[in-house]
Amino acid sequence: MFKYEGCGEIGSLRAIFLAQFHHLQGPMIRCQYPDDLIDKENFDLLSRFLIPKNEVQEQTITVNSNGYKISGYPTFLPDKKYPRNYLLFNLCVVCHPWSRTVQFEPFVKKLSQFFTNLEKEAAILSEDMEENSENSIKIKSILEKVFNDMNHEGKTVVTHEQNTLHLSVINLGSEPTHVGDHKVPVLVENLDEYHTEEFDLTSTKILPHIDGFNSVARIAMLSDVEVNAVRACVQNLLYHKVVELTPMFLYSNVYTTTPKLAHLFKQPEFRDDIQSYNLGGTTPSLRDLYSFICLFCHGRSLREVCHRQSPQKLGIDERKLIQYLVLKGALRRIERYPVYQGDDNDESYTWFTRGYPTDLILIKSGMSSHELELRMEEDPDIYILNR
């Protein structure tokens, strides 16, 4: 099966290496295990990312290029004893280009700090840098053990003289849900608690457009970022539980309440939250809110619910309220799958023959919601599957 970046799968380590900046030779791979997975030509192409400028030291970087996905932790040690007054190295792991690598970020950071300690105690990085020197053999032995242990056991214990390091990749979390172009990411964490200046460029560009109502496809358009990159970025945010996914908000949507609603209504925090989704600061009563929410059922669209009991008159912001209820699991969107069973070979009907939900048809076909609704209502050969 074809795999792509953002598919959520975790592959094995392909290699582990220590890159350094040599004061005469420039960027170089000091040690690598297994040997020669990344040759000199490919390393030279990627070296400016793997041995970067000082502004991006002491933080995890990931590079996906030329068939390699590499995560590392560039480390800069200033000291007048070194040529050019500093030592610069990067401990890196190499994965498949489709692999999820976020679980290795603490791993490479800890291993880099381990080598920093070895350098301060025994100058293992700065002295005897030749390929077959005693220090290089020690470094390669450490990398070999880490590589084999992590691929077979998912953990390792590294020792060198008096130094011991326990490493593991245990809490990988559940694999994020597949991110479709029609899905809507909703921020569920306060970004003020994160160092947003350390976010990658794609995250920085798309985050202002994650408003809880823009789909992945629309975010790609608004941010001028390729949609595959947006999908991968959103999947990473899902893994870190910064966002959750909801369906597109349309007044033609059909929702139904779930058994969880009654349980949630007993919680004061939930009741306070739903009352906060008001218009113009007027707090709607719990009775009006409950009455409005209970109107949702199979076969009744949001538009019809709003006609029966106007949320504006009750002071309810139905957009934000529904988004919140879907995230809480109190409302469930009924997905509709139009299926064409006629004989017309018109290309537009291809969207109705492959089991696409209406949200994805809107994104892929360019039809408006009104156009799609008319097509489904007026064509007797289109049947609607609800689930």
pTM of the model: 0.59
pLDDT digits (tens, 9 = 90+) for 4-30: 555 556 778 999 999 999 888 889 999
CA distances from 299 to 148, 215, 302, 305 (A): 57, 24, 10, 11
- Helix extents (H) in 58-125: 105-122
Question: CA angle, corner 226, sides to 222 and 232, nearest 5?
Answer: 105
- The pLDDT of residue 1 is 44
Tell me the DSSP string of 143-171. HHHHHHHHHHTSEEEEEETTEEEEEE---
Q: Which residues contact 275 (CB under 8 A, 6 or more apart)?
A: 283, 284, 286, 289
For 28-47, what is the mean pLDDT? 91
Distance, in Å, from the CA atom of 169 to the CA atom of 291, rounded to the nearest integer, reads 48
pLDDT digits (tens, 9 = 90+) for 203-244: 899 999 999 999 999 999 999 999 999 998 998 888 778 899
pLDDT digits (tens, 9 = 90+) for 300-333: 999 999 999 999 999 999 999 999 999 999 999 9
pLDDT digits (tens, 9 = 90+) for 162-203: 888 888 875 555 556 789 999 999 999 888 766 666 677 888
Domain 15-168 has CATH 3.30.450: yes
Domain boundaries along the sequence of the chain: 15-168, 184-246, 254-334, 337-386
Residue 64 has pLDDT above 50, yes or no: yes
- The pLDDT of residue 129 is 77
**What type of residue sits at position 135?**
N
- The pLDDT of residue 174 is 55
Distance, in Å, from the CA atom of 289 to the CA atom of 314, rounded to the nearest integer, reads 8
- Helix extents (H) in 192-350: 201-206, 216-223, 227-239, 260-265, 268-276, 286-293, 302-308, 311-314, 318-328
Cβ-contact 184, 243 below 8 angstroms: no
- The pLDDT of residue 160 is 85
pLDDT digits (tens, 9 = 90+) for 250-290: 999 999 999 999 999 999 999 999 999 998 778 999 999 99
pLDDT digits (tens, 9 = 90+) for 78-110: 899 998 888 999 999 999 988 878 878 888 999
